[in-house]
């Protein structure tokens, strides 16, 4: 055999060993069923995952009910893990109250994928204090970290952990996700979320909490949250209050959200640019909406929604500059009560807009600055600015110069004067008519907006002129009298 043939033969033999090792491994498939599958129990499948060298694994469960241990995939070198059942609620997993599912990745770029599909979880119902605690702090039934997670077509009941799902530093896509009887529902931290067709029922605490959302594009649609009961109107100082949704940096858009039997409906702390919410409905909720406006926002639009049996509270941020006005726009909605809370140290002119066919369904409530209805359905000014002005009789002053706010001259405002014979407003100006004091107030419908306490004084220049005229007149009289006396004395001398 010549040398070339020997080299070629050796290369072919080496290729038989090298090529398989260079070929990427396909996703490992572990089937679980009563017979004829890779495994017959979830415990066995879990042990196979721990022993596997493959980074992509799918566990496919057949129809039936499976008892499961804690499924903790922390520290495993997995780039993709899928646990799937059969569609139509045909795969049921039974777990003890202190069992849980955890998937964490060491890759902080959150490229690892975790998927749960077509599963029904039945958790043993026990007393709260019988659930053990673990070293990690999430305290949730499903705990995700650094993962691109998708959970679809899944039902869970009787969760004794603090949360049903927690996720941090990644993304969470929930579709057709149902929870019955739990404390908190879902909490995310620095995670991009997309939730669709979510039902959370029988909650004793909060439904959805989205923390540190940042500039992520988060979308929520078709969500129903039902609490265990309304704990009263005041959720701000009530430790037992439950809240449907809490966002600390806003949500890009929400559609078709229903919240019932909660103390608070939606709490948004620091809004996000160009937020649009559609079809938000509250039922037996104390405060349906509580908004703390951010330092910078392009506004919140709420359309086709119902807050007719709950309050809306809008509060501004003290760090806003005087030139930053922020809009909360209600369109085609049913409203009963909007309360505005302007922080004392804030100077910005926040406004609330009510546009296009809103319906107001309740009588005014006693709190100051409450907005209950708007006959003209135009701008609602929530701030009650008050100024004290001293002005000379017959003088005038532009309202813009008094309040540093061009809205004070809005032609939609109705100005009334305590005494129009002393001062009144006309064509955007304060007109002083006579000496004295009075108060002028502006309203839009029944909403008090601007107030001026006016002191009208005599024009000091007018007084000076009067004094000069009087003085000259007196001098004239004195001169005339003196001349008369002098003339009479001369006549006597000549005679």
pLDDT tens, the chain, 495 aa long: 566 656 565 656 655 554 444 444 567 999 999 889 999 999 999 999 999 989 999 999 999 999 998 999 988 889 999 999 999 999 999 998 888 999 988 777 778 999 999 999 998 765 444 444 433 334 789 999 999 999 999 999 988 888 999 999 999 999 999 999 998 999 999 899 999 999 999 988 899 999 887 777 788 999 999 988 755 555 555 555 688 998 876 666 789 999 998 888 988 876 555 578 899 999 888 888 887 765 545 567 788 998 877 877 776 554 444 444 456 677 788 877 676 555 444 444 444 444 456 666 554 443 444 444 333 333 344 445 678 999 999 999 998 888 776 667 777 678 999 999 999 999 889 999 999 999 999 876 666 678 899 999 987 665 555 566 666 777 777 777 776 666 767 766 666
Distance separating alpha carbons of residues 283 and 230, to the nearest angstrom: 10
Q: Indicate the SS3 state at residue 356.
A: coil
The pLDDT assigned to 19 comes to: 45
* Residues ≥6 apart with Cβ < 8 Å to 260: 224, 225, 226, 227, 282, 283, 284, 285
pTM beyond cutoff 0.85: no
* pLDDT at residue 376 in the model: 33
Read off the DSSP letter of residue 493: H
Q: How far is CA 169 from CA 104, 112, 483, in A?
A: 10, 12, 104
Closest by CA position to 37, among listed 22, 51, 48, 52? 48
- Using the CB atoms, write b or e for 156-188: b if 16+ within 10 Å: bbbbbbbbbbbbbbbbbbbbbbbbebbbbbbbb
Residue 220 pairs with which residues in a beta bridge?
195, 254
pLDDT of residue 80: 93
Q: How many Å apart are CA 138 and CA 468, to the nearest integer? A: 86
Which run of H or of E encompasses 3?
Answer: helix 3-22
Q: What pLDDT, on the 0 to 100 scale, is given for residue 396?
A: 93
Between CA 141 and CA 147 the distance in angstroms is: 16
86 near 114, Cβ under 8 Å?
Answer: no
Question: How much is the pLDDT for 470?
Answer: 66
Residue from 292, 307, 458 nearest 372 by CA:
307
Q: Measure the CA angle with vertex 139, ends 70 and 69; round to 5°.
A: 5
The topology (CATH level 3) of 26-192 is: Pectate Lyase C-like (2.160.20)
Strand partners, 200: 179, 225
Tokens 């009075």 label which residue?
438
Distance, in Å, from the CA atom of 164 to the CA atom of 90, rounded to the nearest integer, reads 22
Report the pLDDT value the prediction gives residue 232, as an integer from 0 to 100.
55
Q: Which CATH code fits 385-457? A: 2.60.40.1080
- Contact (CB, 8 A) for 56 and 77: no
pLDDT tens readout for residues 199-237: 999 988 899 999 887 777 788 999 999 988 755 555 555
Q: What is the pLDDT of residue 175?
A: 96
Tell me the DSSP string of 367-403. STTEE---TT-SEEE---EEEEEEEETT-EEEHHHHH
């Amino acid at each position: 055999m010549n040398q070339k043939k020997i080299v070629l033969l050796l290369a072919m033999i080496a290729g038989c060993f090298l090529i398989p090792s260079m070929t990427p491994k396909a996703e490992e498939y572990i089937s679980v069923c009563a017979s004829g599958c890779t495994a017959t129990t979830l415990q066995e499948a879990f042990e196979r995952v721990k022993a596997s060298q493959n980074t992509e694994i799918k566990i496919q469960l057949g129809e039936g009910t499976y008892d499961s241990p804690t499924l903790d995939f922390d520290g495993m070198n997995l780039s993709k893990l899928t646990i799937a059942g059969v569609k139509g609620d045909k795969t049921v997993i039974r777990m003890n109250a202190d069992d849980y599912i955890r998937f964490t990745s060491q890759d902080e770029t959150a490229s690892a994928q975790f998927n749960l599909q077509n599963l029904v979880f039945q958790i043993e119902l026990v007393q709260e204090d019988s659930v053990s605690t673990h070293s990690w702090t999430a305290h949730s039934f499903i705990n995700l970290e650094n993962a691109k997670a998708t959970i679809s077509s899944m039902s869970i009941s009787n969760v004794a952990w603090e949360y049903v799902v927690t996720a941090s530093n990644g993304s969470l896509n929930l579709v057709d996700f149902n929870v019955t009887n739990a404390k908190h529902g879902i909490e995310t931290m620095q995670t991009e979320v997309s939730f669709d067709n979510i039902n959370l029922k029988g909650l004793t605490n909060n439904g959805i909490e989205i923390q540190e959302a940042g500039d992520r594009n988060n979308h929520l649609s078709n969500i129903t949250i039902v609490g265990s009961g309304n704990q009263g109107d005041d959720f701000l100082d009530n430790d037992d209050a439950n809240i449907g949704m809490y966002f600390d940096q806003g949500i890009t858009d929400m559609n078709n959200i229903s919240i019932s039997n909660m103390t608070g409906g939606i709490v948004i702390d620091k809004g996000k640019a160009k937020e649009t919410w559609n079809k938000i409905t509250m039922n037996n909720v104390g405060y349906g909406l509580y908004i703390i406006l951010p330092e910078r926002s392009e506004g919140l639009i709420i359309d086709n929604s119902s807050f007719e049996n709950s309050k809306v509270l809008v509060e501004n941020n003290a760090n806003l500059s005087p030139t930053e006005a922020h809009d909360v726009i209600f369109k085609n909605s049913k409203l009963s009560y909007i309360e505005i809370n302007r922080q004392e140290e804030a100077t910005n002119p926040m406004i609330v807009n009510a546009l296009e066919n809103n319906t107001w369904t309740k009588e005014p409530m006693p709190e100051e600055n409450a907005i209950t209805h708007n006959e003209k359905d135009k701008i609602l000014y929530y701030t009650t600015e008050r100024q004290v002005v001293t002005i000379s009789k017959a003088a005038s002053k532009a309202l813009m110069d008094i309040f540093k706010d061009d809205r004070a001259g809005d032609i939609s405002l109705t100005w009334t004067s305590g005494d129009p014979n002393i001062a009144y407003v006309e064509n955007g100006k304060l007109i002083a008519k006579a000496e004295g004091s009075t108060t002028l107030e502006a309203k839009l419908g029944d909403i008090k907006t601007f107030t001026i306490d006016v002191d009208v004084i005599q024009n000091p220049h007018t007084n000076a002129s009067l004094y000069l005229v009087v003085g000259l007149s007196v001098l004239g009289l004195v001169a005339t009298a003196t001349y008369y006396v002098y003339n009479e004395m001369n006549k006597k001398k000549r005679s």
